[in-house]
Amino acid sequence: MQLTQRVMDKLAIGLSIMCAVHCLATPLLLTLLPSLTAVQLDNEQLHLWILVAVIPTSLVALTLGCKKHTRLRYVVSGFVGVILMVLAVTLGEAKWGELGEKGFTLIGAAFIAIAHWFNYRQCLAKNEDDCPCSDSVSEQAN
């Protein structure tokens, strides 16, 4: 269980960054490399699958962190990010256009990544024996 929160926080940060890179890089890649248009990197299915990976990862990591550190604001920040990403996927382009969809996705990914970063840092700062991240801190101290 100790390793789970640390891995989930890192995975969620990575997924958020991947989502942001995808949103920013896809239009550039499609413009610069016309042969990549066949790959369908801008397909809505990719957005849905990223969201399917982000929701349970964030839920597990932030919930475990909240139980350890009682920092509800990190869970709320992650929840706001997930809501923004769900809005981007469900209403996005139809309601606000492509720019609105990307904006909601990027802001949501930022909320999620920041929540996980602070969750992870809080765990490192506690340096408690039962903290999921303390093993790496205590190994560095020895």
Percent share of the chain, pLDDT over 70: 75
Instruction: Inform me whether the pLDDT recorded for 10 exceeds 70.
Output: yes
Instruction: With respect to residue 120, please indicate whether it lies within any of the assigned structural domains.
Output: yes
Render pLDDT for 48-85 as a digit per residue (tens, 0 to 9). 888 888 888 888 888 888 777 777 888 899 899 999 98
C-alpha 19/C-alpha 85 separation (Å) is: 10
Instruction: With respect to residue 32, please indicate whether it lies within any of the assigned structural domains.
Output: yes
Rounded to 5°, angle at Cα 127 from 125 and 132: 100
Instruction: With respect to residue 103, please indicate whether it lies within any of the assigned structural domains.
Output: yes
Instruction: With respect to residue 141, please indicate whether it lies within any of the assigned structural domains.
Output: no
Cβ distance 19 to 105 under 8 Å?
yes
Render pLDDT for 15-55 as a digit per residue (tens, 0 to 9). 888 877 777 777 776 676 666 555 555 567 777 888 888 88
Which domain, by its residues, includes 54? Answer: 2-136
Number of domains in the chain: 1
